[in-house]
């Protein structure tokens, strides 16, 4: 009891001994009782108010979570629509390019367009791989508030997009065809002179075109073969590192689980990359599709420039949307954890 309260009680007791009036004595007794009981009464009132506030906080937090989850679902649907639009448009462009090839009139313009498209697709893959590596590292370090299954699903989604881009690159490369055995010279007629027939020849235009195409195709294919070989070596190196880590019995159960999951993904990717490399080295024959003239090739080039710009903007918008979605998912997860903690507390104390 505080010193002020003790002083008031002592003063009241002294006063009661000297006051002659019973009514005043009774008032002082009541005052004394209130002074003695006030801390307990006040504490009970505070507990009552605290419980009410905690119950109300659960209701308010539940509403807050419902609002954020609505926003989360909206972002998820926006992301799906954007992703679907990108995939549809990229499929259309790859299909269009794979169904045409150069003519003697367009020379190598179509081949150059395809090479630019392949370069753009490879840049997309690099962006996907950077995002993927970031998620794998987050999963390994355990720094994310999101469930491991959510992060593993994100990795799988990026892997699907990487595989899709690789298949589109292979399709464009295959459509460029192979070297053909064409006679370098063609006859332009002849004449007799001195009793002998002399044939006039010139370099065959078809041979010139085939040579131009072959130079472009071979260069592109060598670069893709080199990239695939490098990817295979990188995957093999990562696989060896993971196998070495798994032999260490001191690693945690969570780390072992993450490493096993990544090992399975690497094995699948290795099989696919080896298959891609084998397919790339197989003969392709004549370029697929229809030969187009110079004007048609020019129109297609302008179309691809515009479409490529739009796709690039959509692609980076998609990555920003993914970041926003990841942030919103984290916020919702934290709020749900907070709500569960409050419910547990009330279950324990609200009797």
CA distance 343 to 54: 9
**Cα 82 to Cα 123: distance, rounded to the nearest angstrom:** 19
- Token output for 150: 């959510």
CA angle 260, 262, 264 (to 5 degrees): 70
Q: Enter the tokens of residue 303.
A: 């179309």
For 98-108, the pLDDT digits (tens) are 999 988 888 88
CA pair distance 113, 92, nearest whole angstrom: 15
| pLDDT computed for residue 269 by the predictor | 95
- Asked if 131 and 158 count as a contact pair (C-beta separation under 8 A), the reply is yes
Coil vs helix vs strand at 109? helix
| Tally of CB atoms within 10 A around 109 | 19
Of 200 and 124, the structure prediction assigns the larger pLDDT to 124
Rounded to an integer, the average pLDDT of 59-73 is 95
What pLDDT score was predicted for residue 61?
A: 95
pLDDT band at 296 (very low <50, low <70, confident <90, very high): very high
pLDDT in tens, 145-176: 788 888 999 999 999 999 999 999 999 999 98
pLDDT (0 to 100) of residue 251: 87
Task: Check: CB of residue 224 under 8 Å from CB of residue 172.
Answer: no
Tokens of 255: 């780390």
**pLDDT at 75 exceeding the cut of 90:** yes
Residue bearing the bigger pLDDT, 95 or 11: 95
Which tokens sit at 280?
């790339």
Q: Which range (193-197, 271-275, 330-334, 336-340) has the least confidence?
A: 193-197
pLDDT at 349: 85
Assess contact for 101 and 291: CB atoms under 8 A: yes
Q: Two tokens at 1?
A: 């009891």
**DSSP codes of every residue in 23-42:** HHHHHHHHHHHHHHHHHHHH
Confidence band for 212, pLDDT divided at 50, 70 and 90: confident
Residue 189 sits at φ, ψ, to 5 deg, of 110, -170
**Out of 55-69, 209-223, 267-281, 296-310, least confident range:** 209-223
| Rounded Cα gap, residues 91 and 170, in angstroms | 13
Q: Are 85 and 160 in contact (CB under 8 A)?
A: no
Instruction: Check if the beta carbon of residue 173 is closer than 8 Å to that of residue 223.
Output: no
- What is the rounded distance in angstroms from the CA atom of residue 332 to the CA atom of residue 338? 10
pLDDT score for 70: 96
The per-residue pLDDT of the chain, averaged, comes to 84
d(CA 319, CA 163): 17
Measured on CA atoms in the order 209, 212, 214, 216, is the torsion positive or negative? negative
Cα separation, 337 vs 239, in Å, equals 36
Long-range contacts of 35-42 (CB under 8 A, 24+ apart): 35/5, 35/8, 35/9, 36/9, 39/1
pLDDT of 265 reads: 95
**146-150 CB contacts, 8 Å cutoff, 24+ apart:** 146/326, 146/329, 146/330, 146/333, 147/333, 148/254, 148/257, 148/258, 150/329
Query: What tokens does 16 get?
Result: 């009661």
For residue 186, give the DSSP letter. Answer: E
Give residue-wise pLDDT tens across range 243-260. Answer: 999 998 888 888 898 899
Which residues touch 54 (CB under 8 Å, ≥6 apart)?
Answer: 342, 345, 346, 350
Token pair for residue 347? 């279950």
**Pairing label, strands 185-193, 196-203:** antiparallel
Q: Report pLDDT for 41.
A: 47
> pLDDT tens digits, residue range 2-43?
555 555 555 555 555 555 555 555 555 555 555 555 555 455
At residue 281, the 3 state secondary structure works out as: helix
């Amino acid at each position: 009891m505080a010193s002020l309260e003790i002083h008031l009680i002592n003063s009241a007791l002294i006063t009661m001994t000297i006051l002659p009036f019973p009514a005043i004595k009774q008032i002082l007794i009541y005052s004394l009782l209130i002074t003695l009981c006030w801390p307990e009464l006040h504490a009970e009132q505070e507990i009552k108010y605290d419980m009410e506030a905690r119950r109300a906080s659960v209701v308010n937090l539940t509403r807050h979570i419902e609002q954020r989850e609505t926003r989360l679902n909206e972002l998820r649907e926006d992301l799906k629509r954007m992703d679907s639009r990108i995939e549809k448009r990229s499929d259309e462009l790859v299909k269009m390019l794979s169904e045409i090839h150069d003519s003697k009139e367009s020379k190598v313009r179509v081949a150059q367009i395809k090479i630019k498209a392949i370069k753009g697709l490879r840049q997309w893959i690099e962006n996907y791989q950077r995002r993927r590596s970031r998620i794998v590292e987050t999963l390994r370090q355990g720094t994310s508030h999101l469930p491991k299954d959510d992060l593993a699903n994100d990795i799988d989604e990026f892997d699907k997009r990487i595989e899709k881009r690789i298949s589109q690159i292979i399709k464009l490369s295959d459509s460029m065809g192979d070297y053909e055995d064409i006679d370098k010279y063609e006859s332009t007629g002849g004449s007799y002179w001195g009793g002998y027939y002399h044939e006039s020849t010139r370099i065959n235009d078809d041979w010139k075109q085939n040579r131009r195409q072959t130079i472009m195709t071979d260069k592109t294919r060598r670069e893709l073969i080199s990239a695939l070989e490098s990817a295979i070596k990188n995957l093999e190196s990562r696989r060896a590192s993971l196998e070495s880590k798994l032999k260490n019995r001191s690693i945690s159960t969570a780390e072992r689980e993450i490493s096993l999951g990544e090992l399975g993904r690497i094995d699948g990717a290795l099989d696919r990359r080896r298959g891609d490399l084998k397919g790339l080295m197989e003969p392709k024959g004549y370029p697929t599709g229809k030969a187009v003239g110079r004007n048609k090739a020019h129109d297609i080039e302008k179309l691809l420039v515009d479409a490529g710009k739009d796709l690039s903007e959509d692609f980076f918008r998609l990555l920003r949307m993914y970041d926003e979605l990841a942030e919103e998912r984290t916020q919702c997860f934290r709020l749900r954890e907070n709500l569960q903690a409050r419910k547990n507390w009330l279950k324990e104390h609200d009797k």
